[in-house]
Amino acid sequence: MISPAEDLLAGSSISADLVVVGTGVAGLSAALRARELGLRVVVVTKAAIDDGNTRWAQGGVAVVLPGTGDSVAAHIRDTMVAGAGLCDEIAVREILAAGPAAVAALRERGAVFDAGPDGAPELTREGGHTALRIIHSGGDATGAEVQRALAATAAGIPVLERTVVTEVLRDDAGAVAGIALLGADGESAVLPARAVLLATGGLGQLYTATTNPEVATGDGLALALRAGAAASDLEFVQFHPTVLHGGPGSRGRRPLVTEAVRGEGAVLLDVNGAPVTTGVHPLGDLAPRDVVAAAITRRMAATATDHVLLDATGISGFARRFPTVWAACAAAGIDPATDPIPVTPAAHYHCGGVRTDTSGRTTVPGLYAAGEVARTGLHGANRLASNSLLEGLVVGTAAATAVARDQAVTSPPGPPRALATSQPALDRDDLQRAMSAHAGIGRDTAGLESAAALVAGAPQRHIRGVADAEDAALTVVAAALLCAATARTETRGCHVRTDHQGSAKRWRRSSTVVLDAAGRPVLDEPATAVVA
Ligand SMILES: Cc1cc2nc3c(=O)[nH]c(=O)nc-3n(C[C@H](O)[C@H](O)[C@H](O)COP(=O)(O)OP(=O)(O)OC[C@H]3O[C@@H](n4cnc5c(N)ncnc54)[C@H](O)[C@@H]3O)c2cc1C
C-alpha cells in the first residue's frame, strides 16, 4: 500500500482528483469513500500511517445504538450542553444522526468493539453524557482498533509516508490546484490535484504538556489559513483533566488517563484527600471536561501543587478493563489497584479549526477539511467526550462525496501559482512555554498580548524540512489562536479568562479569523460562508 515518495519526487507524472493529507480516522475514511466513487486519490502523511492522534484514542466512540434505550435526541442535547452555546445545531443534528450508520460501516470494515455476554457492544459513560453510549475496543485502545481497521481496508490506495505538505497551491483564480511537499531527505515536489482534503489532526504540540503525539503541530490549520480559508472557534482548546503527572517540569506527550476510569467509579481527590468537584457541577467528577479541568486547576493553585489524585482503587479488574492506562501507570511505578494515580490537565483537543460545512467544504474552492483540523460546529466551545472519532468517520466520508459532486459541476483549475519558500517561525520551546503560560487554562489580556508580541516578532525561516514546516505552522496557528482568545472577553467552555469570569450574551457567537495580505491574523466578521 505504501508508494515510496521517491517515485513521485523523481518526477513521475502523478496528478490526482483528490489529495488527502493525513492518515487518521478522517483521512482514511475520506480516501476509502473517494476510491468507492472512482476518484484518483493520493494520501500523504508526514510520519508513518498510524502516527496521528487516532491511534491514541482511548475511551471510545460516542454513538446511539438501537435497542439501548438511548436516543439521538439525548446525544444532541448532551453535545449542545457541553458546547456552551456555540454549537451549530444543524451540524450537530446532521453529524450525530449519521453516527449509527457510520459505526455500522466501520464494523463492516472489520473494526471489533468489546462485547458483553449477549454479543452486543459494551457501553460505558464519559463526562457530559447522560447515558451509557460509548463503545470501545481492547478496553481502552479504541483508536488503535479504528486505525487498524481503516488502514487494512485502505490497502491498494497510494499512501506517501514521511512526506510533509508545506503549501496548498492555488491557480490565478484562487482555486486549489495542488500541493507542495517535502520528502524525508528534504527534496521538494509539487503534486497537481483538483481538490485537497486536510485531515491533519490537532495542535497539542503548541503547549509544553499534551496528550497529542509529535505530529500534532497544527499544520492543516496553517495550510488552510495561508491558502485564504477562514477558521473559527480557535480559542477553544480542550485540556484533558487527567493525564498521568510526570513529575515537576515534565514536557511533551503525556499518557492519558481516560475519562472512562471516572465513568467506572474512580474519584478525584486533592493532595489532602478532599474531593475536587463537590459543589462544582451536578455531574460531579463526570461534569464536562472544561468544568473538571478548571476545577482541578483551581484546586492545584489552592493546594500549591501541580497535580491532584485519581483514586481508582475501587475498580475491580483495572488492568483488564484499562490495559493502556495500567501499563502507563506501571511504567511510572504506580499500581492503580492500590495507589491513587497522580493526574494533571494537559492540552488535548482543538474544538475550533478550519471553518467547514458538514461535508468538509471550506471557504476556498477545492479545499476541504475533516476531523480535528476542521470546525464543523459540532463541538462549539467544548467538545463532548468521544464525539471526535465519530465526527472524523462521518465528515471524512461526506467530504469525499462532496469532492465528487463538486468536480462534476466545476472545471479543473489552472496551473498553480509560485509558492513561498520562507515563513515566520519561532523556536518551538519558546513558543510552547509562552502558550502554556498565557494561553492555557486561565488567560488574561496582559498574558495573551505578551504571547502575541513574541509570535509577531518571529523571524523568517527557510523551509527545508519537516521541523521547519512544523515550527512555521505552530507560529501562524499560535498567532491566529491568540487573536481569537484576546478578542473573546468572556469565559465560555474551555476558554477561561481570569479577567472576564462570566459568559457574555453578546459573545454567544463564533469568532472567525483569516490572514490579511501581510499574513497577520484578523477577525473576520460576520463569518464567511463556505463555498462549493
Ligand atoms: C490520547 C488521546 C485520546 C483520545 N481519546 C478519544 C476518544 O476516546 N474518543 C474520541 O472520539 N476521540 C478521542 N481523542 C481525539 C481523537 O483521537 C482525535 O480527535 C482524532 O483521532 C483525530 O483524527 P484525525 O483523522 O482528524 O487526525 P489524526 O489521527 O491526528 O491524523 C493526522 C494525520 O495528519 C498527518 N499530517 C499532519 N500534518 C501533516 C502535513 N503537513 N503533511 C502531511 N501529513 C500531515 C499526520 O501524520 C497524521 O497522519 C483522543 C485523542 C488523544 C490524543
**Does residue 234 form part of some domain?**
no
User: Using CA atoms, how far apart are residues 302 and 305, in angstroms rounded to an integer?
Assistant: 8
- Among 295, 319, 345, the domain boundary falls at 345
Residue with more model confidence, 280 or 531: 280
Cα atoms found within 13 Å of the Cα of residue 246, Cβ hemisphere only: 16
> Is the residue at 213 inside a domain?
no
Q: Which residues pair with 367 in a beta bridge?
A: 196
Q: Which of 334, 338, 287, 331 is nearest to 315 (CA)?
A: 338
Phi, psi of 180 (to 5 degrees): -105, 140
Q: In total, how many domains does the chain have?
A: 3
Q: Are residues 256 and 172 in the same domain?
A: no
Look at residue 34 in the predicted model and tell me its pLDDT: 98
Residue 344's φ and ψ, nearest 5 degrees, are: -155, 155
Q: Does 522 reside within a domain?
A: no
Q: Give percent of the chain with pLDDT exceeding 70.
A: 96
Q: How far apart are CA 442 and CA 406, in angstroms?
A: 43
Cα of 385 from ligand 1 centre, angstroms: 14
Q: Is 135 in the same domain as 40?
A: yes
- Give residue-wise pLDDT tens across range 154-164: 999 999 999 99
| pLDDT score of 476 more than 90 | yes
Q: What is the mean pLDDT of the chain?
A: 93
What pLDDT score does 526 carry? 58
Helices (H), ranges, 237-288: 260-263
3-state secondary structure of 98: coil
pLDDT at residue 86 greater than cutoff 50:
yes
Residue 144 lies in a domain: yes
Query: What confidence score (pLDDT) does residue 2 get?
Result: 39
Q: Do residues 185 and 72 both lie within one domain?
A: yes
Q: Could you tell me the CA-to-CA distances from 265 to 130, 283, 318, 335, 418 in Å, in that order?
A: 15, 13, 11, 17, 57
> Which pLDDT does position 6 carry in this prediction?
52
45 shares a domain with 158: yes
Q: How far is the C-alpha of 347 from the C-alpha of 200, rounded, in Å?
A: 17
Q: Which domain covers residue 429, as residue numbers?
A: 421-504
Q: Which of 375, 388, 395, 423 to mutate to test the pocket of ligand 1 (most atoms within 8 A of CB)?
A: 388
Q: Which residues pair with 238 in a beta bridge?
A: 349
Average pLDDT over every residue of 144-154: 98
Cβ neighbour number for residue 428 with a 10 Å cutoff: 16
Q: Is 476 helix (H, G, I), strand (E, B) or coil?
A: helix
Query: Is 193 found in the same domain as 57?
Result: yes
For residue 135, give the amino acid letter: I
Q: Can you give the CATH number for the domain in which 443 is found?
A: 1.20.58.100
Binding-site residues, ligand 1, Cβ < 6 A = 21-27, 44-47, 51-54, 56-61, 142-143, 164-165, 199-201, 211-212, 215, 219-220, 256, 349, 371-373, 386-389, 392
Q: Which of 417, 520, 433, 429 is nearest to 476 (CA)?
A: 520
Q: Kindly state whether residues 362 and 384 are assigned to the same domain.
A: yes
pLDDT tens-digit series, residues 118-138: 888 999 988 889 999 999 999
- Residue 393 pLDDT exceeds 80: yes
| pLDDT tens-digit readout, 314-342 | 999 999 999 999 999 999 999 999 999 99
**What does the pLDDT read at residue 164?**
97
Query: pLDDT tens across 238-277, in order?
Result: 999 999 998 887 778 999 998 889 999 999 999 999 999 9
Beta strands at 252-253 and 164-170: parallel, antiparallel or unpaired: unpaired
Fill in the DSSP letter of residue 351: S
Cell of 330: 506501571
Angle at 354 between CA 216 and CA 366, to 5 degrees: 110
Ligand 1 centre to CA of 501 (Å) is: 31
pLDDT number for residue 140: 87
Instruction: Give the domain CATH number at 13.
Output: 3.50.50.60
- pTM score above 0.75: yes
When pLDDT is averaged across residues 191-216 and rounded to a whole number, the result is 96
- pLDDT value for 250: 78
Same domain assignment for residues 465 and 316 = no
pLDDT of residue 306: 85
My answer on whether 356 and 324 are in the same domain is no
CATH of the domain at 252: 3.90.700.10
Instruction: Please state, as a whole number, how many other Cβ atoms lie within 10 Å of the Cβ of residue 327.
Output: 13
Do 250 and 340 sit in the same domain of this protein? Answer: yes
Angle, helices 388-408 vs 89-97, to 10°: value is 100
Over residues 487-522, the pLDDT tens digits come to 999 999 999 999 999 999 999 999 999 999 999 999
Q: How far is the CA of 118 from the centre of ligand 1 (A)?
A: 32
* Calculated CA dihedral for residues 398, 72, 507, 444, nearest 10 degrees: -90
Confirm if 354 and 374 have CB atoms less than 8 A apart: yes
Residue 179 lies in a domain: yes
- Cβ-based neighbour number of residue 47 at 10 Å: 16
Question: Has residue 296 been placed in a domain?
Answer: yes
pLDDT at 15: 79
Q: Is residue 230 part of a domain?
A: no
- What values do phi and psi take at 44, rounded to 5? -125, 135
Q: Average of pLDDT values for 451-474?
A: 97
Sorted by sequence, the CB contacts under 8 Å of residue 272 that are 6+ apart come out as 303
State the average pLDDT over residues 466-492.
97
Q: What pLDDT shows up at residue 1?
A: 37
Q: Specify whether 46 is located in the same domain as 142.
A: yes
| Dihedral (CA of 53, 54, 58, 61) sign | positive
| Same domain (yes/no): 194, 312 | no
Residue 124 Cα, ligand 1 centroid: separation in angstroms? Answer: 22
Enclosing H/E stretch for 350: strand 341-350
**Cα atoms in the 13 Å half-sphere on the side-chain side of 312:** 27
Residues 105 and 40 in one domain: yes
Looking at residues 393-399, what average pLDDT do you find?
Answer: 98
Peptide bond into 526 cis (omega under 30): yes
Active site residues: 289
Pocket test for ligand 1, best of 23, 42, 54, 383 (most atoms within 8 A of CB): 54
35 or 437, greater pLDDT: 35
Is 20's pLDDT higher than 50? yes
β-bridge partners, 19? 42, 196
Does 509 fall in a domain?
no
Question: Which ligand 1 atom is at minimum distance from the Cα of 147?
Answer: 29
What is the average per-residue pLDDT within 16-39? 98
Tell which of 365, 387, 408 closes a domain: 408
pLDDT band for position 288 (cuts 50, 70, 90): confident
